[in-house]
Amino acid sequence: MDLQLLVTIFPQVLLDGILLGFMYALIALGYTMVYGVLEFINFAHSEIFIVGAFVGVEILLGLKSAGLLEAIPWLPVLLLVLVAGMAASGLLAVSIERIAYRPLRHAPRLIPLISAIGVSFFLQDAIRLFESIWRNAFNLVYPTLDVLNRRYDLTSTIDIPLKSVVVIAAALLMLWALWALVNRTKIGTAIRAVAEDQAAASLMGINVNRIISLTFLIGGAMGGAAGVLFGVQYSLVNPYTGFIPGLKAFTAAVLGGIGNIPGAMVGGLVLGLLEAFAASYLSLLTGGAFGAEYKDIFAFSVLILILIFRPKGLLGEVVRERA
């Protein structure tokens, strides 16, 4: 065992983990917000997330073929792509709620869940169909913005590319904005009221349907932003890419305490760090007996342990009280 090596790579692994964690946190918001309001797991969220990534890559490829990608500075390009991805995913989430969940709102709990899984399959293959007709491609590659790959040396052994800084900054900004929206504004109060008690909220003059749509819009938009950032960071997307990050993000939401917005962030970070450390260190620590392929087993074992001792997640589940 090479102790020197373990120490040398520690900060870099930490950085990798934080980056992955914020990615999970952004996706987890979609699960957690919807759960907070409806007590329902929106399993189509992983596809809402990847639709954002696809809208992003289509715009970037469009700009590239028009020769504009090099002409415009990177920040406006990134903002444009982010906003477009957020809009697309947000609207998609709202329409899914309208079509697939609202008619089932008073059905038994399992029914909308099955509907959500159906929507998820439908969207995967709809994206695949669209891309195979439109580009005859399965894997789409984010065009490289050279600036974003520029690396900044923190020390002689650790460096961070600009794109990772962007991802972390964007994630922090969005998490803060969302937290402020929910806790500091009138709309946020309405969302919390609907989460607490739909009937009473509606008696108070809150348009419950509108607030639920809004919740899906915000959760979807966060997912879309995460999709774009995911594409920028890891560059390759295909119609099924969303599934695994979606599942991990759902886990992160449960880990942090589902329905709880800061919980999603904490859960995402914990899971991201666990995964990064497991993947980088397992084979070094065990002399190759357990390799990086055990990262998920390791991460999920820790998750089980946490949930045994804190069944409501790290920060506690937020569930409406029943009268």
Partner 1 sequence: MKHVTLRGGLVLALALAVALLPGASPIEAQGKGTIKIATQSPLSGGQAALGEGIKLGTQLAIDKFKGNLEKAGFKVELVPFDDQAKPDVGVANAKNIIADKDILAVIGHLNSGVAIPSSEVYKETNLTMISPANTNPTVTDRGYGNVNRVCGRDDVQGVVGSEFAAGTVKAKSVYIVHDKTTYGQGVAEFFRDDAKKKGLNVAGFEGTEEKSNFDPILTPIKAKNPSLIYFGGIYDQGAPFFKQASEKGIKAKFMGPDGMDSSDLTKIAGKAVVGMYYTSAAGPASALTGAKGFVDDYKKKFSKNPEPYAAEAYDATAIALKAIEAAAKGGKLPSREAVSAAVRQVKHKGITGEIEFDGKGDRKKALYFVLQVASDNPEKWGENKIVKQLTIAAPSAKK
Residues of this chain, 126-155, that bind partner 1 according to CB under 8 A: 128, 138-139, 141, 144, 149, 151
Instruction: Round to whole Å and give the CA distance between 29 and 75.
Output: 25
Listed ranges 6-14, 65-73, 195-203, 261-269: which one lies at the site for partner 1 (CB under 8 A): 6-14
Site for partner 1 in 62-121 (CB under 8 A): none
Task: Tell me: does residue 276 bind partner 1 (CB under 8 A).
Answer: yes
Count the site residues for partner 1 by CB under 8 A. Answer: 42
Q: How far is the CB of 141 from partner 1 (least distance, A)?
A: 5
Residues 6+ apart with CB under 8 A from 315: 256, 257, 260, 262, 263, 266
Binding residue for partner 1 (CB under 8 A) from 1, 67, 288, 308? Answer: 288
Nearest distance, CB of residue 39 and partner 1, angstroms: 31
Our CB check for partner 1 shows the closer of 179 and 234 to be: 234
Give the span between the Cα atoms of 157 and 103, in whole angstroms. Answer: 56
- Note whether 147 and 74 are within 8 A (CB): yes
Binds partner 1 by CB under 8 A, chosen from 230, 251, 256, 264: 230
* Binding region for partner 1 (CB under 8 A) out of 33-41, 185-193, 214-222, 286-294: 286-294
List of long-range contacts for 275-283, beta carbons under 8 Å, 24+ apart: 275/17, 275/20, 275/248, 275/299, 276/13, 276/14, 276/16, 276/17, 276/20, 277/13, 277/17, 280/9, 280/13, 280/16, 281/6, 281/13
User: What spatial distance separates the first Cα and last Cα of the chain, rounded to whole Å?
Assistant: 58
What residue ranges bind partner 1 (CB under 8 A)?
5, 8-9, 12-13, 16-17, 19-20, 128, 138-139, 141, 144, 149, 151, 157, 159, 161, 230, 233-238, 241, 244-245, 275-280, 283-284, 288, 291-293, 295
